[in-house]
Amino acid sequence: MALILLVDDDEMIARMISLRLRVRGHDVEFACNGEEGIDKALGGAYDLVLMDMHMPVMDGHEAVRQLRQQGYDGTIVAVTASAMSQDSQKAIKAGCDHFVSKPISDDFEQRIDDFLASG
């Protein structure tokens, strides 16, 4: 169905998200920090980028800002452990199109499909 880039430094969370997306029929590729995520996003043809906001090396906010500055116009969804509105607004201001909160909810797959359909 879709090719998704998942940028997350937590291997367990990345595996769980990947499994859920693959069961839904999507292909998932990984990056473990913002710098690697930028390189992969700019070099690939992803339908969606899922970007963790809190990572070492380069956090998701900076990675998204740099992607947008370099002309990346694909759909980027912030994945954040904080459901506080100020954190979600910070992700949107950085250039994310949408956000989902950790822990991942039961409707996660449907939300991703909705983001893909609207992208």
The residues spanned by each domain of the chain are 6-32+42-48+59-118
Provide the 8-state DSSP code for 76.
Answer: E
pLDDT for residue 80: 85
CA dist., res. 36 & res. 116, Å (int): 23
Place domain 6-32+42-48+59-118 in its CATH homologous superfamily.
Response regulator (3.40.50.2300)
Residue 28's beta-bridge partner residues?
Answer: 4
CA dist., res. 17 & res. 78, Å (int): 13
Banded pLDDT at 102 (limits 50, 70, 90): confident
Sheet holding 3-7, edge to edge: 27-31, 3-7, 48-52, 76-80, 98-101
For the chain, the 3-state helix, strand and coil shares in percent, each to the nearest 5, are: 45, 20, 35
Position 115 pLDDT exceeds 80: yes
Q: What is the mean pLDDT of residues 20-33?
A: 97
Kindly report the pTM of this predicted structure: 0.94
